[in-house]
Amino acid sequence: MKFFVDTAEIEAIRDLAATGLLDGVTTNPSLIAKSGRDFKEVTAEICGIVDGPVSAEVVALDHATMMKEAEVLRKIADNVCIKVPLTVDGLKTCKALSSEGTMVNVTLCFSANQALLAAKAGASFISPFVGRHDDNGFDGMDLIEDIRLIYDNYNFATEILVASVRHTTHVLQAAKIGADVMTAPPKVIHDLFKHVLTDKGIEGFMADWAKTGQSIL
């Protein structure tokens, strides 16, 4: 499963990229706003850190303006992936851009039927929001299972990008189902490293090493 980080914080992206785990980045207007920086400037800097897709979201709601915004965004770098909402105009934009060879991430997916539409429109990625789905009394992972089944039935090339990931269990469940990608905040990715037995093991090794009085350097 590919790992994307969901943030516009440059240092957090650099830190994770250094581990070799990072396959891409997702951003949205809210995350860019939190950074307090220019949208295009931040996007360009992120694209220079990672080789994989960097999702940059349009903010228009009509197809014509979405296309104009996408034209500006995709000139930022070759690895920009245009992010559009799962609406009629969003899918018109998805079809037009994907037909030209531009990567498209269709976001705000909350049903398997919506995911089917996005795949037929040629989306590179579909972003089902599992955390928000859970918040509203549904099971986000049931949604991922349904999309996986449908996409496998018809050999759709669209990758399932599990979004709105709230905790490490979401990551584990998505991987077991066979999701192609997950995007999560930096904290969730760092939490994947943690285990009480790992901490205890390191503590024991360090205590034993200290008793030897030796130094590697």
Mode of pairing for the β-strands spanning 125-128 and 2-6: unpaired
Q: Where are the domains of the chain?
A: 2-212
> CATH fold of 2-212, please?
TIM Barrel (3.20.20)
Question: pLDDT tens digits for 92-141?
Answer: 999 999 999 999 999 999 999 999 999 999 999 999 999 998 999 999 99
Could you tell me which of 60, 5, 51 has the C-alpha nearest to residue 31?
5
User: Is the pLDDT at 165 greater than 90, yes or no?
Assistant: yes
Average pLDDT, the chain: 96
Question: pLDDT tens digits for 182-217?
Answer: 999 999 999 999 999 999 999 999 999 999 999 999
When pLDDT is cut at 50, 70 and 90, the band that residue 153 belongs to is very high
Q: What is the mean pLDDT of residues 35-40?
A: 88
Predicted model pTM: 0.94
Q: How many C-beta atoms surround the C-beta of residue 75 within 10 A? A: 10
Q: Could you tell me if 114 and 90 are in contact, meaning their C-beta atoms sit under 8 angstroms apart?
A: no
The values of phi and psi at residue 182, to 5°, are: -130, 145
Identity of the residue numbered 187: K
Q: Which residues are catalytic?
A: 83
Could you tell me which of 102, 36, 38, 32 has the C-alpha nearest to residue 66?
102
Q: Which residues pair with 181 in a beta bridge?
A: 2, 161
